[in-house]
Structure 1
């Protein structure tokens, strides 16, 4: 192309670009905006208040890491949720012990396990990630660190949770209840306007668990895993089964190999189904999101759902399940 023609053509292109608002009508611009796949927040179960908090923050330009922390904190502070944070159901000895983890787009991670008397374990987990050379702190060490970081101690055993625990003591039976209050962990993934992904998972664990029990929720690779080049996944349900398959890590690696979030979640669930003869007795469920903002979910039993906030709207989506076949 001759220099003169090149200048003319680039000038025309520049004029067209500068006239973009007149070339695209407002309805078309609105449609393009609505079709944008991110920012988006997604969480296990029907925790729409949590995803709304995170989603609104993302829409206002917050980072995925800030949004995911504040999002799950909504449920940590929800006294009606007896499986997360303040008001969580105690273990068999009456102790409310909390587990949580968080991961940043850079691949950094923080975790706390068997944490007592601190209402927001996810925030302590973030401090572990950002202020220490470690990934996980446990028990008294985690509590001591939290206090040093300025967190206030609090009695987390509410009147309602204590009453329910004392009623349980009359029978002292533990049987996993599928899709009911004893494993409604919140795991959340956020994809911000820059296309960066972060995740968090927080829980008080199984109701009336053995003293000292830790589930999958604070374990990087089990309850939560992400890779900012690929996407992320969170799990919920029977933590022991999720830990045995390293489920969230598995899902991210399957997405790395080219599987969609839905296909990856299905494969992770089916590995548990194939290897656990008693899989009908417990629930395992996953939610995954790739870097394009595509979401997948799968579970053993029907009844599991996930909440999503995207383009200013909250939705609750039921997941497909193996048992429905």
Structure 2
């Protein structure tokens, strides 16, 4: 029995019990019924359009939030929002200007999911800046979910994307300097292993999400992390909510983190508690978590948000009702360093 039927039947039962009782008793029953119906109606209200993203990428949520305010779909908003960082030459982990692999090549990964549950992804793509938009093209204009490498790049040109050199002089010089030692150890909260993930709810209450990244700095040629993998880097269920990950992709993949968070929310957990549980699943596997960072953000159908990470230092952006806020995440680190 759903709640509306329960309330209606309760009201009928209340009226029967009140037969022969005082007018005051009838009034009380009527008041309780109205209160219950009012609470039910409130629970069904759509939240104001909202966009959230990993880290302090304020320009990305500003762009997405403004589009949502104007009535854009959640999918349009998140793809346009992350494009701000894909095109930001100062961002060394996304799009143009990103850190290359050990061979000196910049390769990008991305995925998208729409409210209908459709998804698209591209892996290890060279020479294309807006790979989130390309992942959307895979979702909408091909019979596939994933395109990789040269195949994804060729598809991009067929769709009108421009060929651009993603390796800037600054990143090339940094790579050449790195080659002198070839020291490979990602540092916690240092953006050599980062991504931008974004989730949004539009005016219709629909949810969409996107991830886009260059992956680990100085990674092995061909390496792909969690970001373009549906269920790990990103997962959306329009009836429940969405989640996105950032940090050490190899560890996110092992627990299918974003899917896990959505399933926990389906079972009744808040976004915050679900993010905390997903981090706990990683940390309880042993002490190795002390050497890497992972963070999750999540949103549910009601517009509640949550974020949690392993180590102190992660933040998320939230845009809603014209306010663009940077929110410090709670963290696990058992020694509270």
For the pair shown, which has the larger CA radius of gyration, 1 or 2? 2
Confirm or deny that 1:137 pairs with 2:147. Answer: yes
2:193 to 180, 183, 191: 183
**Secondary structure at the residue paired with 2:72?**
coil
* Match of residue 220 from structure 2: 210
CA distance in 2, matches of 1:174, 1:294: 38
CA distance in 2, matches of 1:315, 1:36: 21
Verify the 8 A CA contact 1:38 1:292 in the aligned structure 2. Answer: no
**Secondary structure at the residue paired with 2:230?**
coil
CA distance in 2, matches of 1:298, 1:321: 5
With structure 2 as the length reference, what TM-score do the two structures score?
Answer: 0.85
Confirm or deny that 1:74 pairs with 2:84. Answer: yes
Gaps in structure 2 of 5+ consecutive residues: 1-41
Verify the 8 A CA contact 1:99 1:114 in the aligned structure 2. Answer: yes
Moved over 6 A (4+): none
1:126 to 119, 136, 141: 136
2:124 to 105, 114, 120: 114
CA distance in 2, matches of 1:254, 1:322: 18
Alpha-carbon deviation of 1:276?
3.7
Confirm or deny that 1:97 pairs with 2:119. Answer: no
Alpha-carbon deviation of 1:176?
1.5
Q: 1:46-100: CA deviations, max 9, x gaps? A: 0010000000000000000000000000000000000000111000000000000
Confirm or deny that 1:289 pairs with 2:271. Answer: no
Verify the 8 A CA contact 1:233 1:248 in the aligned structure 2. Answer: yes
1:253 to 242, 254, 263: 263
Alpha-carbon deviation of 1:36?
7.6
Report the CA distance shift for 1:36/1:127 in structure 2 as closer, same or farther (over 3 A): closer
Verify the 8 A CA contact 1:122 1:200 in the aligned structure 2. Answer: yes
* Match of residue 55 from structure 1: 65
Confirm or deny that 1:240 pairs with 2:236. Answer: no
1:228 to 238, 244, 250: 238
Question: How many matched pairs?
Answer: 292
CA distance in 1, matches of 2:229, 2:54: 16
CA distance in 1, matches of 2:91, 2:186: 18
Q: 1:172-192: CA deviations, max 9, x gaps? A: 011110001112200000100
Q: 1:300-322: CA deviations, max 9, x gaps? A: 00000001111101100110000
Alpha-carbon deviation of 1:323?
1.2
Verify the 8 A CA contact 2:46 2:205 in the aligned structure 1. Answer: no
Alpha-carbon deviation of 1:277?
2.7
Output the aligned Cα RMSD: 1.3
**Secondary structure at the residue paired with 2:109?**
strand
1:198 to 187, 195, 208: 208
Confirm or deny that 1:317 pairs with 2:327. Answer: yes
CA distance in 2, matches of 1:276, 1:201: 28
With structure 1 as the length reference, what TM-score do the two structures score?
Answer: 0.88
Alpha-carbon deviation of 1:37?
3.5
* Match of residue 168 from structure 2: 158
Gaps in structure 1 of 5+ consecutive residues: 1-31
* Match of residue 27 from structure 2: none
**Secondary structure at the residue paired with 2:280?**
helix
Alpha-carbon deviation of 1:288?
0.2
CA distance in 2, matches of 1:160, 1:312: 36
